[in-house]
Amino acid sequence: MSQIPLYPLRFEPIYQYRLWGGQRLANLLTAPLPGDGPIGEAWILSDRDDHPSRVADGPLKGLTLRQLLEQSPEQMLGKLAGRFQRFPLLLKFLDCREMLSVQVHPSDLQTDYLPAGEHGKTEAWVVLEAGPESRIYAGLNPGTTADDLRRALANQTVADHLASFTPKIDDGVFLPAGTVHSLGGPLVFEVQENSDVTFRLYDWDRLDANTGKPRDLQVEQAIACIDFAQTAVGPVAPVIEATKPALRERLFDCDYFRLWRLSGELPFVVGAAGTPRLLVCIAGEGQLEHGGAVYAVGKGDVFLLPAVVGACSFHPRGAVILLEIAVPEAT
């Protein structure tokens, strides 16, 4: 493998059963869903031991993201090499047919609640589909206390203490670690720290059809990790960085990730020299050009541009919308 030059790498999705999921991911991704049960998540870039992403095509087909990082760290990560034990982001599509649990994720500083080797979980969503019945809960009503939440759990009124709004397509929602949240109805893209630590506060008093039992709650851990100063979270205001040759909007810019939405019909540049970038196609299709080769990009595809690949030219076939994601350099 060390003799094989790196190129724009497309990864296969990893589907996950979730009782709140549905079947809409079949309309977004070309890989068939496993059976007719509820699929809530497609992990589209994952450097996790239990769910490793694998290259979908080309000379490196079948290799995991972890293998690539171990064997070619400088070529893959460039300026970021040496900073991370594993790729620092996890990317997903979520089909939230029903409500997720009311949950919270710890921050990197709450080490008492992080298993060995885990990180906190700041995350963000881009809404891809939503209807009038969709709902996002994010943040607490002002003045809510831990005792208020404990009482609400006893009388099933937790939602009364949560701020909420009806999401629209294209909304970006930023959720710092410690933010109580849930959502139901939308189809969303999610970018997050590479973490799988979730504490459920409340699960809407439902049963898991697979087990016939309620899912476990972690009430005390959730309450301990809640940022009670985090009140209502709403959609972010996109920052327009360019309008030609494509509209470039910055949606998120935090310590863990930056995300831009690129919309256009004319060729435009993606990627950057010396640092990896991630591309996610959420509408339309086109071609990515690098080193004299052409890579077809369709709706639902995710590509990692290794640092050594640098900037590439993207040629839309009609109107296209891409998400471009960067890991910030250390400040």
Pull the structure tokens for residue 164. 């909420």
Helix (H, G, I), strand (E, B) or coil at 40: strand
Marked catalytic residue, from 10, 18, 200, 277: 200
Q: Residue 92 is encoded by which pair of tokens?
A: 């997903």
Cα dihedral 4, 83, 53, 319 sign: negative
Q: 70: part of which helix (H) or strand (E)?
A: helix 65-71
- Structure tokens belonging to residue 18: 């979730």
Q: How far is Cα 322 from Cα 302, in angstroms, rounded to an integer?
A: 10
Three-state DSSP at 154 gives helix
Long-range pairs for 131-135 at CB < 8 Å and ≥24 separation? 131/185, 132/166, 133/185, 134/166, 134/167, 134/183, 134/184, 134/185, 134/186, 135/99, 135/164, 135/165, 135/166, 135/167, 135/183, 135/184, 135/185
Sheet holding 172-175, edge to edge: 14-22, 39-45, 89-95, 187-193, 123-129, 172-175
What does the alpha-carbon distance between residue 19 and residue 95 come to, in Å, rounded to a whole number? 11
Closest residue by Cα to residue 246 from 257, 258, 232, 262? 262
Active site includes 54? no
How does DSSP classify residue 258?
E
Task: Quickly tell me which residue has 């005390």 as its tokens.
Answer: 220
Catalytic residues: 200
